[in-house]
Structure 1
Amino acid sequence: MRQRDLKFTFVVGEGNLAFDVVEFELEEALCEPFRLSLKLASDKNAIDFKQVLDQPGTFTLWQDGRPARYVHGIVSHFTQGSSGFRRTRYELLLEPQLARLELCCNWRIFQEKSVPEILQALLKEHRVPDYEQRIYHEHLPREYCVQAGDSDHYLHDRLAFEEGLVYYFRFDEHRHTLVCSDRLYVQERIAGGPVLFSAQPEGDNPQPVLHSFRYSENVRTARQTQRDYSFKRPTYDQEHHLAGEALEHQGSSYERYDYPGRYKRSGAGRPFSESRLRGHRRDARVASVSGDDPRLIPGHAFALEGHPRADFNAWWRPVRVVHRGTQYAGQEEESADAPLGVSYDLRAELVPEDVEWRPAPLPRPRIDGPQIATVVGPAGEEIHCDEWGRVKVQFPWDREGRHDEFSTCWIRVAQNWAGADWGHMAIPRIGQEVIVDYLDGDCDQPIVTGRTYRATNRPPYALPDHKILSTIKSKEYKGSRANELRIDDTTAQISAALMSDHGASALHLGYLTHPRPEGGKPRGEGFELRTDEHGAVRAAKGLLLSTEEQLRAGAGHLDRGVVVQVLEAALELARELGDYAGEHQGVGHDAAPQQTLQEAVRDLGHGANDESGKSNGGKPAIALSGPAGIAAATPASLTLAAGEHVDSVARQNQQVTAGQKVVINAGSDIGLFAQGGELRQITHQGPMLLQAQKNDIRLEAEQSVEVSASQQHVLVTAKEHITLMCGGAY
């Protein structure tokens, strides 16, 4: 176009401060803040920097006396240069408000927000009023999204690019609008008709044209495959495959496989993969042009006309444009005949309008290592978790968290074991300090990997005083009591204890002492199972209580040789004396129940791993064995009951002593038989009654029967008669 029809102007603020434009270079691109570098002149040689820096400014490109293009922004850089006789040189950089986000970085957490919502909040925070979102697709909320020390601008771009959003700027005289959308095809087209192509740059063209057009195709990634993992659906690989468009001129086997895909929901996997593939193929078909039509703006499509190749006369969309201009009139110093004239040209990169161009994806910030956090939850609560045992934490860097259940999302907790309905589970409790690591270094995937003590969470025992104690000690929920597994490795005094404060219940093993923190006074050696409440010992297949020596567990745990030997001897004695008594008119002795019980004890361990292949074991019998004796004592009463038989056998003596009465009652027979000794029944002071209430009494002796009364008389009475026999006579 005729360069003499052009003019460049620049004003700061509300137009109160105007400069002459000497040179300018405007760099603008899709998904990038623009940069307008200006070389200026002014008759003012002492401009207050406060009037310029961080103030709005407007650059105008005039054509035929009318504004053909505005560039509005905020002044980021201002330099005063040399001064001539009449003018002073200045340099200035104009950028959008979006560029200010690069000046701020932060650590913070966004929860349950979609990327469009996060971007809106971010720009509102920076007071970017002119922001327009054009959203055509669903964008799922992100459960947990962290800004991990990166700049606000990097966060803005990273999230936008991951989500498949593009942005560009729209200008008018007093503002610039940031436009963000998830569809490029439906965006603006430039006004004023098609852009013309002319291969003859020489001469003074009457209208703007493109005089250079170079079209290129590049071999790029043809397929994108991504996978990711979600613990809620561990068997589903969330794999997505996408093939690129317009692959007619290249091979289709060039695949990029990325893991992790940075998505946790399958619904987000496809658009994530699609955006990444488009980013890799962003320059698969591209045109490089030059000319002087200032209407070319990134994101705004136009129709090309006049190219000798017909298929190039199509709709194109600029993705990057660099404008340059020089205005010699602005260099005037003193000479009235100084050269006049304006030059302007542009260089641009174009893609076909129907290409859904996307920028290259940006890497997520990687966390350098584990971080410290504190477990948090609702007020008044001590344990706060979900169905997976996940917890919420407060990071020291989080300025927005309120140390409550809203500080973070649910965060997984690594356990020592984690199986299918089995494993280890110890949920970090509110107030505990935890170590948080990040899966794949991803700031959005925290996981609790450990716990540490600190000043407000002291160890169970004072250290290093009790460094020999190893313990697992819990705390009563909303109480002060505890359960504990404690191991004491004191030299020559090792012990272990499993304890509960409820009922002071405990199993102590080894070298028994009072608690070490209380002095550790000896209490004995071996084991103690005790409680202030109730106790029970149950064994469905038999129980052996024995004091038989078994050094270092050298035999089976039901080794019962001594008790079986004693029971066999007792059975033999009972049979021998019982049979003998029966032969001499004694009451018959039934040894079968005793034998059954003896066999049950003998077979007690049959079928166990050390007595496998043996049958008849597993009867619920109790065997008591004490090689040095068994004593049962109580200051109250003792009851011994049997549903069937009670067999009491002693190889030597059985002695029954009562301070008052000995009462023997039998529903049938009572048999007393002494094989080789005496049978004496004596009352020392009271009378003796020998009575058969329904039958006879017989007193028989092989030799003599003596009846005597040492003090008074012998009285024999009968209702009918008394018969005395001697030598066959009566």
Structure 2
Amino acid sequence: MAGQSGSVQQQDSLNRYLLFFPHRKNIPVDVHSFTGVETLSQPYRYTLRFTSPEQNLPINAVLNQTAEFVLRAPNPNATWHRQSPWLPVRHINGVITSFSRIKSSGDEAFYECVLEHELALLDRNYRSAVYIGTSVPELVTKLMQDSGYFDGYNIDFDKLSHTYPRREMIIQWKETDLTFIRRLLAEVGIWFRFENHDQVPTETVVIFGDSAGRYIFRDKKLPYVRNSGLTSYNEYITDLEEQHTLIPKNVLVRTYNYRDPQSPQTDKTIETHDIPDGVTTGREYHYADHYLTKGDLDGEEGETATFYARLRYERLLNDQSILKATTSDPELQPGMMFTPTGPIPDSFKSGYLISSMTISGSRAEHYRATLGGIPYLNGYSFRPALLARPVIAGSVPARVAAIVGDKTYAGVDAQGRYCVKFDFDLDEQREGFESALVRLGRPYAGDKYGFHFPLLDKTEVAVMFENGDPDRPYIAQAMHDGARPDLVTNRNDTRNIIRTAGLNKIRLEDRRGKEHVKISTEYEKSQLSVGHLVDAEGKPRGEGVEARTDNRMTLRAAKGMLITTEAQPRAQGQQLDMADAVAQLEKALSLARTLQQSALTAGADPVETDPQTMLKQTMNMLSGAGILTYAGEGLAQVTPQSLQLSAGKDLIATAGNNATVNVVKKLSMAVGDKLSLFVRKLGIQMIAGAGDINAQAQRGAMHMLSQQDFTLTSTEGKMNGSAKQGMQFTCGGGGIRISPNGLVTIFSPTGIELKGPNLKYDGPESAQVQTPSFNKGAFKQRYQLHSPDDDQQILANKKFRMTSSSGQVIEGMTDSDGYTPLIDADDLDTLKMELME
């Protein structure tokens, strides 16, 4: 600590106190008096009054100039050993932050200046800033070096007892750099003091400590003497004072960490035998300290729950016993530990740590320092008092910053958090790392459910802070601005709109009489419009409901679907109200039953009404997975291509009036078992306007019966009749019989009349008629086998077994296209198919 400047030492003065300006060595000054304040974790400040023969010292010669203030004492051995007449005691370096000319005389002028450590200059730098991924010691070092007043050698964090983690983000909000540094250090319990460089006394090192290991332990014993009004050449200590207060017995800290909602809490008590019993009571509870983990048992791991609980209790211990004293020793300074000797109070016996001092001295008065401090206790250290953390009221504007990659989409992390660029942040060098990841406040959230519209790069957001804490931001809401205007303005203020950047949209129009809802996406222009339909320019284009897409559309309902034009005025009634549709089904069933009875009476095969009855039951209230379609004024299905109606079981068509089938080219009907046609009143009319009529009973008989006349006529051709086993025409008991061998017999019970102008008898003649043959295997078909879940997955080259409802079993193998061989399909009932491998 002791040292001196050669230039100062050369000054020929009897003054114990010297002031020297290294950059203006020609300024003659003589210290008149001084006062000083030195406190742990604060820059020291000395107010110096001096005289100078120069009546008008230039302001820039003193203000903002480095200076050295030297305290020295006479050397008692100087005469005998030819040593320097002065011994250096303290060397205080700094910069002049205030300069005043107080008065002057004919010989000299009287000035006053303030000397402070360079760290005090950081109190002139006021700002708001964001710091990412740094620890408290690292950030303090950076701020000091960025100021230009410090290099690595005069910043000493080398002997910290704790390890301090890097924080995601630290925000400086409307603070000077010095206030910000002192606040951060106090929050983690790091204090600092000043010490002259051991090699260069004109340089001052800032020593940072977080334990008693960084105290200055002085071996020198300083005697305590009671104040008698006399003076002494030797240094001493006097006016010992002590003040004791009750403190809480323990400290509880708790916080909420959304990353792990089971927030750790620690109830921590520090025990020390140096505190008398019964001087603690109560408990102090602190919420929302900045930590993420519980930490080790003794709080040695920095910035954990246990660490902060211990830190807060140590601050209480610092305030429990306040010790004061007065001394004449100029070597004492904050951060120094010493033990007074003599009849001292018990509180001073364990050692006395100086935490603050107020100093004064002059040409006329001896050096005097009033000390403030605490007793030395094993297991705890001095902790600077907490500075008020700034509170950010309201919101702060910011913009979403894409983390990495494509900025077309939201840059969220695995937890759905965003990086933001605060508008007050002047640092433009951290693209993609402008802030820690912050959460987005939403009106609804839960376990993998909630409400989240991703925010894109450059979106303006209003950021708020939990309890106003600058280090706990969250996005409160997104905002429109001049560059990104609102989608609802005075031009369309009757609309309520949700629209994404990809133009997915939900629009709700509230204009009276023109209300509508539209849900749309740009992909294939898929849209659902409800109500008053308008085009892109707001012009009407319809009413009701419209669903459209440039691609495919599917309607799927597992339990049934009702499509109806039955009215429900003002949305009254139940979902499955279908009275008109059910009435129509019952009417069709009644008509079918009436015609069924008529067919039975006429001897025709009756209409089967059981499937129709079952279908009506299924459709009624959609008790089964069916589709019921009803249209009060008619129903049309039209296509310029093909229309297929297919039923796995029964196909039923009922008309209360007429049924018309118009086919331009060919009408084909194939029936597996039987075709039964019954007409109740007006008969059957079959006319071929061109071409033949071909009626065959290929495996049975043909019967044609009429109650009245039966006419066979060929207007321009001939009529042929043939039969392989014989023919017979009869009427009234007589007739013509032709046997299979060609014998013709004419018989009559009353007589035979032959009329004609000629009757000719010739020899035998035979007519050969080719009898059509019928292919017994005409009804054959093959089947293509596929996976039950995917009709595109063909089962090729697979062995199968097919069992018909009659019990017939057919085995075979599918070909490369999954087809079976041709199978006799006389039995068109249910077929059971199974694979054999």
Report if TM-score (shorter chain) is over 0.5. yes
For residues 98 and 449 of structure 1, do their structure 2 counterparts lie closer, same or farther at Cα, with a shift above 3 Å needed? same
Q: Are 2:626 and 1:621 aligned? A: yes
Write out per-residue CA displacement over residues 88-147 of structure 1, whole angstroms, 9 at most, x where no aligned residue: 221121110111111111111111110000100011011223221131211111111111
2:510 to 469, 479, 489: 489
User: What one-letter code is carried by the residue in structure 1 that aligns with 2:138?
Assistant: E
Q: Are 2:700 and 1:664 aligned? A: no
Q: Are 2:74 and 1:47 aligned? A: no
Q: Are 2:688 and 1:683 aligned? A: yes
Report the count of equivalent residues.
691
Q: Are 2:653 and 1:648 aligned? A: yes
2:731 to 717, 720, 726: 726
For residues 35 and 48 of structure 1, do their structure 2 counterparts lie closer, same or farther at Cα, with a shift above 3 Å needed? same
Partners of 2:134 and 2:430 lie apart in 1 by 20
Of 26-35 and 82-91, more deviation after overlay is shown by 82-91
Name the residue aligned to 2:155.
Answer: 131
Q: Are 2:323 and 1:287 aligned? A: yes
Do the aligned residues in 1 keep the contact of 2:132 with 2:169 (CA within 8 Å)? yes
CA drift at 1:16: 4.4
Q: Are 2:16 and 1:7 aligned? A: yes
| Pairs within 5 Å for 1:83-482 | 83-126=104-147, 127-129=149-151, 130-133=154-157, 134-171=159-196, 173-190=201-218, 193-199=220-226, 201-243=228-270, 245=272, 248-267=276-295, 268=303, 269-307=305-343, 312-328=348-364, 342-354=365-377, 355-377=380-402, 378=404, 380-382=406-408, 383-402=410-429, 404-460=431-487, 463-476=489-502, 482=503
Write out per-residue CA displacement over residues 267-326 of structure 1, whole angstroms, 9 at most, x where no aligned residue: 423323333333344231122111212222110111222225577443211111112112
CA drift at 1:239: 4.8
Partners of 1:100 and 1:213 lie apart in 2 by 35
User: What one-letter code is carried by the residue in structure 1 that aligns with 2:70?
Assistant: T
Do the aligned residues in 2 keep the contact of 1:244 with 1:277 (CA within 8 Å)? no
CA drift at 1:185: 4.2
Write out per-residue CA displacement over residues 481-535 of structure 1, whole angstroms, 9 at most, x where no aligned residue: x2110112223111110011111111111111112xx2x2221111111111111
Write out per-residue CA displacement over residues 425-462 of structure 1, whole angstroms, 9 at most, x where no aligned residue: 1111112111111111111111111122222212346x
Of 120-129 and 526-535, more deviation after overlay is shown by 120-129
User: What one-letter code is carried by the residue in structure 1 that aligns with 2:613?
Assistant: Q
User: What one-letter code is carried by the residue in structure 1 that aligns with 2:534?
Assistant: T
For structure 2, the 5+ residue unaligned runs are 1-12, 75-85, 296-302, 736-837
Partners of 2:359 and 2:28 lie apart in 1 by 21
1:75 to 96, 101, 104: 96
Name the residue aligned to 1:537.
Answer: 555
- Which SS does the other structure have where 1:137 is aligned? coil
- Which SS does the other structure have where 1:567 is aligned? helix
Write out per-residue CA displacement over residues 512-571 of structure 1, whole angstroms, 9 at most, x where no aligned residue: 1112xx2x2221111111111111101000001101111122111111111111112212
Do the aligned residues in 2 keep the contact of 1:372 with 1:435 (CA within 8 Å)? yes
For residues 362 and 250 of structure 1, do their structure 2 counterparts lie closer, same or farther at Cα, with a shift above 3 Å needed? farther
For residues 250 and 352 of structure 1, do their structure 2 counterparts lie closer, same or farther at Cα, with a shift above 3 Å needed? same
CA drift at 1:201: 4.1
Partners of 1:412 and 1:318 lie apart in 2 by 46
- Which SS does the other structure have where 2:311 is aligned? helix
Write out per-residue CA displacement over residues 453-486 of structure 1, whole angstroms, 9 at most, x where no aligned residue: 222212346x32222222111123xxxxx21101
User: What one-letter code is carried by the residue in structure 1 that aligns with 2:111?
Assistant: Y
Do the aligned residues in 2 keep the contact of 1:148 with 1:365 (CA within 8 Å)? yes
Partners of 1:81 and 1:435 lie apart in 2 by 52
Do the aligned residues in 1 keep the contact of 2:592 with 2:609 (CA within 8 Å)? yes
Q: Are 2:38 and 1:28 aligned? A: yes
User: What one-letter code is carried by the residue in structure 2 that aligns with 1:353?
Assistant: Y
TM-score by length of 2: 0.79
User: What one-letter code is carried by the residue in structure 2 that aligns with 1:346?
Assistant: A
Name the residue aligned to 1:566.
Answer: 584
Partners of 1:325 and 1:250 lie apart in 2 by 43
TM-score by length of 1: 0.90
Partners of 2:329 and 2:310 lie apart in 1 by 33
User: What one-letter code is carried by the residue in structure 1 that aligns with 2:491?
Assistant: D
For residues 109 and 309 of structure 1, do their structure 2 counterparts lie closer, same or farther at Cα, with a shift above 3 Å needed? closer
Name the residue aligned to 2:574.
Answer: 556
Name the residue aligned to 1:596.
Answer: 614
Name the residue aligned to 1:611.
Answer: none
User: What one-letter code is carried by the residue in structure 2 that aligns with 1:61?
Assistant: L
CA drift at 1:381: 1.4
For residues 729 and 248 of structure 1, do their structure 2 counterparts lie closer, same or farther at Cα, with a shift above 3 Å needed? farther
Of 266-275 and 482-491, more deviation after overlay is shown by 266-275
CA drift at 1:711: 3.7
- Which SS does the other structure have where 2:428 is aligned? coil
- Which SS does the other structure have where 2:182 is aligned? helix
For residues 142 and 169 of structure 1, do their structure 2 counterparts lie closer, same or farther at Cα, with a shift above 3 Å needed? same
Larger radius of gyration: 2
User: What one-letter code is carried by the residue in structure 1 that aligns with 2:458?
Assistant: G
- Which SS does the other structure have where 2:16 is aligned? strand
Write out per-residue CA displacement over residues 373-400 of structure 1, whole angstroms, 9 at most, x where no aligned residue: 1212246412211122211122222111
User: What one-letter code is carried by the residue in structure 2 that aligns with 1:392?
Assistant: C
User: What one-letter code is carried by the residue in structure 2 that aligns with 1:528?
Assistant: E
For structure 1, the 5+ residue unaligned runs are 329-341, 477-481, 605-616
Partners of 1:41 and 1:266 lie apart in 2 by 60
Of 297-306 and 349-358, more deviation after overlay is shown by 349-358
Partners of 1:9 and 1:720 lie apart in 2 by 155
Do the aligned residues in 1 keep the contact of 2:254 with 2:263 (CA within 8 Å)? no
Partners of 1:695 and 1:445 lie apart in 2 by 95
Partners of 2:708 and 2:630 lie apart in 1 by 45
Partners of 1:314 and 1:687 lie apart in 2 by 133
User: What one-letter code is carried by the residue in structure 2 that aligns with 1:490?
Assistant: R
Name the residue aligned to 1:502.
Answer: 523
User: What one-letter code is carried by the residue in structure 1 that aligns with 2:217?
Assistant: R
- Fraction of identical pairs, as percent: 24
User: What one-letter code is carried by the residue in structure 1 that aligns with 2:552?
Assistant: H
User: What one-letter code is carried by the residue in structure 2 that aligns with 1:475?
Assistant: A
User: What one-letter code is carried by the residue in structure 2 that aligns with 1:468?
Assistant: T
Partners of 1:90 and 1:464 lie apart in 2 by 68
For residues 629 and 409 of structure 1, do their structure 2 counterparts lie closer, same or farther at Cα, with a shift above 3 Å needed? same
Write out per-residue CA displacement over residues 8-52 of structure 1, whole angstroms, 9 at most, x where no aligned residue: 222122654452222111211111111111121223323223222
User: What one-letter code is carried by the residue in structure 1 that aligns with 2:314?
Assistant: R
For residues 720 and 211 of structure 1, do their structure 2 counterparts lie closer, same or farther at Cα, with a shift above 3 Å needed? closer
Do the aligned residues in 2 keep the contact of 1:73 with 1:96 (CA within 8 Å)? yes
For residues 85 and 672 of structure 1, do their structure 2 counterparts lie closer, same or farther at Cα, with a shift above 3 Å needed? same
